[in-house]
Amino acid sequence: MTEEFSSARPAHEPEPLPESATSEAEQVIRRGSPLRWLLRALGGLALLAVGVGGGYLGYRQIVKQQARGAPMKHFPGAIAQIGNDTWPDESPAHEVELAAYLLDVTEVTVHAYRICMEDGACTEPGRHGYCNYGQEERGEDHPINCVTYDQATAFCKWAGKRLPTEKEWEHAARTASDAAGSKKVDLFPWGGTPPTVKHANVCGAECGPFFAKRGKAVPMMHEVDDGFPVTAPVGSFAEGATKEGLYDMAGNVWEWTKSPYCAYPDEQCGNDTDFVIRGGGYQTHQPRTLEATSREGLGRTEATETVGFRCAKDG
């Protein structure tokens, strides 16, 4: 009887390798060697690394977009009332024509400025005195301060924006007081009522003693503690917001504008060294400084602890 042989191969015998499987790695994998699992694990780790790296880059992109895309309020084009005949540096009161624009709801924060630095578009702000950058106890939701005019300009450019003109800034700050027939004095961002401790971060009962202990005499506007001897997180004083919802247009930090400091009504006096700042800050002790029409000039290279900024955009 002719012996029949089965065509099936024993289970222990490996399947012949195809001629194309010439590499050692392919042979190891096809033979089922324990090294097969090592190679697979290394491949998985490589994919994981790619995934983690991609996730980090994605997260950084989101953070950057958030820093650049801070909420803004839109203001349509208008014939705006500017100035106040009560004070020499604010007179004469006059009208200007404004194109539509947008303005940041809050002052630029330490966090947003840090992201700009990490992206290589902003340089490090000052760290002296009561500068907020690098001060963990004050938090990154405080306004960035100790920045020059050019540093503020660079941030706004990175964000696809610009600094506001002083006319845009004043128009946005005084709309609550510009109703027909309203009195053109005491033009605070919230309206015509005098400032209280709930309206703005200025020098109150917390401020005088704080600076006195550090050898500096700062007069107080209020004898009530507002909780913040220096800056406050942006948007902390809701009762001082404008009717459009802009925060800290009075107090916290003064704000750079792109306008050279000129006598009214001149807007282009050839001054490229001093620019207008607006709004008052946490050391302010005179109510009139908080008026929407109040203006001061500051050298473009100055980086003081009481000055920050917000950005604008053509609208």
Half-sphere exposure of 1 (CA within 13 A, CB side): 3
pLDDT for the residue 28: 40
- List the end-to-end C-alpha distance of the chain, in Å, as a whole number: 100
Q: Where are the alpha helices (DSSP H) in the chain?
A: 24-31, 35-68, 110-118, 149-158, 166-174, 207-212
Burial of 156 (0-12, 13-18, 19+ CB in 10 A): buried
pLDDT of residue 138: 80
Please name the residues in contact with 153: beta carbons below 8 A apart, sequence gap of 6 or more: 162, 163, 258
| pLDDT on residue 299 | 98
pLDDT at 189: 95
**CATH superfamily of the 72-314 domain:** paralog of FGE (formylglycine-generating enzyme) (3.90.1580.10)
Strand order of the sheet with strand 312-314? 72-75, 101-104, 312-314
With 0.85 as the threshold, say if the pTM is over it. no
Per-residue pLDDT of the chain (315 residues; tens, 9 = 90+): 444 434 444 444 444 444 444 454 444 444 455 555 565 666 666 556 556 555 656 767 788 887 888 999 999 999 999 999 989 999 999 999 999 999 999 999 999 999 999 999 999 999 988 999 998 778 899 999 999 999 999 999 999 999 999 999 999 999 876 655 455 556 899 998 999 999 999 999 999 899 999 999 999 999 999 999 999 999 999 999 999 999 999 999 999 999 999 999 998 898 999 999 999 999 999 999 999 999 999 999 999 999 999 999 999
Distance CA 79, CA 246 (A): 20
What is the pLDDT at residue 186? 62
Domain boundaries, the chain: 24-58, 72-314
pLDDT at res. 40:
66
